[in-house]
Amino acid sequence: MTETDLAGSLQALLLAVTGHLLANPGPSGSASLATYHAQLQHATKAELGTRRFWEHSVEKGLLPALLTTAAATEAARQAHNGSQESLQQQQQQQEREQEVVDARVLALRPCAKLLCTNVRGCSEGRLRGRRCGGCGVVRYCSEECQLQHWAQHGPVCAALAALKLQV
């Protein structure tokens, strides 16, 4: 491969890269990229063969512009990822808060197990004293109901206990 062929191949590669970046604009740097893209596009074979063209137009112009564009694109990508993570954290926090609200509503019932059908003797007045040993907020009519309801109550039990200590 001759030096002229190499210069032509490099020109084609740089034109493809800058063309893609101009067609899909990123956060910044498209004006300077457009200038260097035009210089590459209109360069003659004689110009491509000169050291001055590659030093001036490519090394000192196009490559720094490409690096600036790459850095700006990476910063935008990281900011976007950070905002997505923040949104997910907010959604998780809202879900936990809703679980606490649900648990507080259940605390008003004689038995927190929603489908409880236990009618074995105790009056509702006596049931009020049987609270969860972990949080002390929700009530159960029996140990059996508490064990059956643990899958739903377990994840919010510690949060309820912490809220109770804050009040």
Long-range contacts of 126-130 (CB under 8 A, 24+ apart): none
Question: What mean pLDDT comes out for the span 69-96?
Answer: 80
User: φ and ψ at 79, to 5 degrees?
Assistant: -65, -40
Our measurement of the distance from residue 157's CA atom to the centroid of its chain's CA atoms, rounded to an integer in Å, reads: 28
Average pLDDT over residues 112-125: 67
How far out from the chain centre does Cα 123 lie?
A: 50
**Residue 131 forms beta bridges with which residues?**
139
Radius of gyration over every alpha carbon of the chain, rounded to an integer in angstroms: 34
DSSP 136: S
pLDDT: which is higher, 22 or 80: 80
User: What pLDDT does 143 receive?
Assistant: 84
pTM beyond 0.75: the answer is no
